Amino acid sequence: MSAVSPQSQGAAARGTNQRKQIMLVQFGKCRLELVEGDVTDQQVDAIVNAANDQLAGGGGVDGAIHRAGGPALMEETRRRYPDGCPTGDAVATTAGNLNAKYVFHAVGPVWRGGQHGEAELLRSAYRRCLELAVEHNCATIAFPAISTGVYGYPTDRAAEESLNAVREFLTEREQPELTRFVLFGEGAFGAFARVLEGMSV
Ligand code: ADP
């Protein structure tokens, strides 16, 4: 088993006086980071989108990714994946104007009370993105908190499933080098940080 060594540190957000939270944990050769921020600002090989199963575009992080990436993203998803993508799976496109090589469009479950396979589907969405990262030679990947917005998955439960799915993958496959969760707001950051701290004791 990989040693887990958490270090938390505050870091000044660029261009502001605001201090944003960062948490770093090493799983063997792989680094897991939690940061508070906007996933569209990330400079990584792959940015993950929380898409719907029609890949039809929407609000939240999906709207932000399509705005920042430009129309090429929607053109490519329509052309390559006209049937959409099943829940628990993910598909890759190029990243348009984003600072990344790829966008992985992952479809998380809608929360329906927790008895409808939501946990396994959420874990599967993360796993599929990490598999796509390995297939596309991505050393770095940034995730939003899939399903925790309009899809209504309770954030602390989502944090538990998401972080466990990622930890399992990194421990087993030893790649990608860097997996970053980009959490929108202090509340989401806190929920993920509490779970990650709990995992390291
Ligand atoms: P879903 O439909 O999967 O719930 P949403 O986009 O509604 O997807 O929300 C997923 C999470 O992404 C929510 O926690 C939301 O606060 C967060 N979010 C929204 N915009 C961004 C962004 N630009 N960067 C990172 N996270 C974001």
Probe residue for ligand 1, chosen from 55, 184, 189, 192 as the CB with the greatest number of ligand atoms within 8 Å: 184
**What pLDDT score does 30 carry?**
98
Q: What six digits make up the tokens of 38?
A: 């906007």
**What pLDDT score does 18 carry?**
59
Evaluate whether 7 touches 156 at the Cβ level (below 8 Å). Answer: no
**What pLDDT score does 200 carry?**
64
149 CB under 6 A from ligand 1?
yes
Catalytic residue check, 62: yes
Number of H helices, E strands in the chain: 5, 8
Cα gap 185→45, rounded to integer Å: 23
Task: Look at phi and psi of residue 185 and say left if phi exceeds 0, alpha if psi is from -120 to 50, else beta.
Answer: left
Cα gap 100→57, rounded to integer Å: 19
146 CB under 6 A from ligand 1?
yes
Q: Could you list the pLDDT tens digit for every one of the 201 residues in the chain?
A: 344 444 444 333 333 445 678 999 999 999 999 999 999 999 999 999 999 999 998 899 999 999 999 999 999 999 999 999 999 999 999 999 999 999 999 999 999 999 999 999 999 999 999 999 999 999 999 999 999 999 999 999 999 999 999 999 999 999 999 999 999 999 999 999 999 999 865
Which ligand 1 atom sits closest to the C-alpha of 62? Answer: 6
154 CB under 6 A from ligand 1?
no
Q: Which of 62, 83, 89, 156 is catalytic?
A: 62
Q: What is the DSSP annotation of 35-88?
A: EES-GGG--SSEEEEEE-TT----SHHHHHHHHHH-HHHHHHHHHH-TT---TT
Q: Model pTM greater than 0.75?
A: yes
CATH 3.40.220.10 fits 45-198, yes or no: yes
Which ligand 1 atom sits closest to the C-alpha of 63? Answer: 6
Which ligand 1 atom sits closest to the C-alpha of 39? Answer: 24
